[in-house]
Amino acid sequence: MAYVQKEVFKIRTDIEIAQNTELEPIEEIAKKMNITSNQLEYYGKYKAKINLKNKDLNKKVGKLILVTSINPTPAGEGKTTISVGLGDSLQHIGKKTAIALREPSLGPVFGMKGGAAGGGYAQVVPMEDLNLHFTGDMHAIGAANNLAAAMLDNHIQQGNQLNIDPRRITWKRAVDMNDRQLRNITSGLGGPTNGVPREDGFEITVASEIMAVLCLAESLVDLKERLSRCILGYTYEDEPITVGDIKAEGAMTVLLKDALKPNLVQTLEGTPTFIHGGPFANIAHGCNSVLATKTALSHADYVVTEGGFGADLGAEKFFDIKCRTSNLEPDAVVVVATIRALKMHGGLAKDDLHHEDLAALRSGFANLKKHVENMGKVFGMNTVVAINSFSADTPAENNLLSKLCEAEGFRVVLADIWSQGSAGGEEMARAVVEVCEEPSTLTYPYALEESIEAKITKVVQKIYGGVGVDWSPAATRSLHQLERLGFSDLPICMAKTQYSLSDNPTLLGQPKGFTVSVQDLTISAGAGFIVILTGDVLKMPGLPKKPAAENIDIDQNGKITGLF
């Protein structure tokens, strides 16, 4: 291990690095995976959708590597930076590699500054396109979502043959914008020709169930069947009304036919990168699309992907939802941590992170330990711990962390791809290649046939390390409703704070003896999971007092400023 990353050397910003890199034409990137240019649908020179026959996708040739992390802290973990850097490093040591990541959302870019995918010398490009309309997937999802909403209200307006109760509509309209003004509205005002007055609201597009559906669908037919099952609301008799009931699934699938095709871009080092699908990691499963992952696996020997948030949410849902649904099974898991973040888990405040603090590191290690143990004991996976190096990390801290890992039998590597690119990730890449050769069998914390209560309890106990579950009266009512409607056999999707293994964001490290409070349950019947709400989830962000949009500009030559 070498201690190489020095922040003092960071003269170039992410955007400067990205703008100073010459991109390869996208057909050259595709060629690295033996994807021919007639399988590409170009969106300019550096973006393409892949148009493959389904039969091509089930020839898995590659090893799948899941990148996950400790519970996030304000110190930053750099999970995506490691994912991108691992892909580049695998390519660097001669492996035919592809990366499969989530697609960012447009709206939030105008609130806070737009985000790179990755950072430093481990980024996905072209950055501006990724942060703006990209290939139009989000807009297509919004249109499909809003077509269902318009057809539902039109059905009520035109006589309401299905007896839909306007007070029980659960489907929201969507817009890809941070717009708090639309969280709660009354719609259908203005008299009999202008709809039926009711309480209504908007979500940001990525929160739409359609995003989760798109990410789990494996074909146009599967997409249409899943859309058809999406529940829009309930009748006066409390029976569900689905997309299929209002005959919207065909038109919605037509709107999504291109959005379903994976998008191909590249890293700064020219590693093929699929950026496709980006569901919320709380009310949804938080992974890129199954189709992108399978396309990558059928065309590369090593495929790097990641889950949302920390391993308690992101990896758990990756396994219990994405892998179960699609018969995917990783060959290795990389758990990302930083010394900075572990010191916060050990009780240090953000302002004190630049001081060496071995005690805090030792204490915070408990968080990393629990996640790595979960990967092995619960899911049966072989793991590499990747320490994402920062310049303020001291040799003593690095030594201590290595020793703590080794004492637990964890494989640990230091990675400095942020400042060095793939050259700083060779050791990580070689460790991952080694682990991929070791046998493993994916196991699950719960069986689908178990009761909803048992599933939640097992996740809380096995994954989070809690003692049990408290049920609110609303949650109990919803539980009985979902059992009555026959949804008991679906996997669960926990909506919990990402900051703690518990449902209390202030309990860092490895909290013990806690219970998790279930506030309510909702059903995503098209995506195929039950959402377990352990607190309020905001599905429509707002803009800050000074939105980033105020500083975004473009000159006469098309050069954009203020986006990053």
Active site residue 134: no
Q: Is residue 555 a contact residue for its own copies (CB under 8 A)?
A: yes
CB of 167 to its own copies, least distance (A): 15
Q: Is residue 28 a contact residue for its own copies (CB under 8 A)?
A: no
How far apart are alpha carbons 412 and 405 in whole angstroms? 7
With a CB cutoff of 8 Å and minimum separation 6, the contacts of 363 are 345, 346, 347, 509
Q: Interacting stretch for its own copies, rule CB under 8 A, among 152-160, 292-300, 302-310, 357-365?
A: 152-160
Give me the catalytic one of 102, 226, 261, 294: 102
With a CB cutoff of 8 Å and minimum separation 6, the contacts of 78 are 119, 336, 338, 388, 418
Member of 13, 34, 194, 327 binding its own copies (CB under 8 A): 194
> Within its chain, how far is the Cα of 477 from the centroid?
30
CB of 48 to its own copies, least distance (A): 9
Chain residues 63-122 in contact with its own copies, contact rule CB under 8 A? 106, 110
Active site residue 309: yes
Member of 151, 162, 442, 537 binding its own copies (CB under 8 A): 151
Helix (H) or strand (E) holding 51: none
- For the annotated binding site, the residues are 73-80
Member of 5, 43, 323, 413 binding its own copies (CB under 8 A): 43
CB of 229 to its own copies, least distance (A): 17
Burial 125-163 (b: 16+ CB within 10 A, else e): bbbbbbbeebbebbbbbbbbbbbbbebbbebbeeeeeee
Chain residues 494-553 in contact with its own copies, contact rule CB under 8 A? 542-543, 545, 547, 549-553
With a CB cutoff of 8 Å and minimum separation 6, the contacts of 277 are 102, 103, 137, 211, 214, 215, 287, 288, 289, 292
Q: Residues in contact with its own copies, total (CB under 8 A)?
A: 75
How far apart are alpha carbons 139 and 117 in whole angstroms? 20
Give me the catalytic one of 148, 281, 311, 332: 281
Residue indicated by tokens 């473009």: 554
Q: Is residue 207 a contact residue for its own copies (CB under 8 A)?
A: no
523 forms beta bridges with 530
As given in the structure block, the two tokens for residue 535 are 């607190």
- Is 150 or 396 the residue whose CB approaches its own copies more closely? 150
Q: Is residue 147 a contact residue for its own copies (CB under 8 A)?
A: yes
As given in the structure block, the two tokens for residue 190 are 């203005």
Q: Which amino acid is at 548?
A: A
Active site residue 487: no
Active site residue 497: no
Q: Interacting stretch for its own copies, rule CB under 8 A, among 93-101, 243-251, 466-474, 522-530?
A: 243-251
Q: Which amino acid is at 111?
A: G
CB of 439 to its own copies, least distance (A): 36
Give me the catalytic one of 390, 487, 514, 564: 390
CB of 189 to its own copies, least distance (A): 4
Residue (of 475, 425, 433, 424) closest to 453 by Cα position: 475
Active site residue 102: yes
Active site residue 81: yes
As given in the structure block, the two tokens for residue 451 are 């009761």
- For the annotated binding site for ATP, the residues are 73-80
Give me the catalytic one of 32, 63, 79, 173: 79
Active site residue 418: yes
Give the residue numbers marked as catalytic.
79, 81, 102, 113, 281, 309, 390, 418
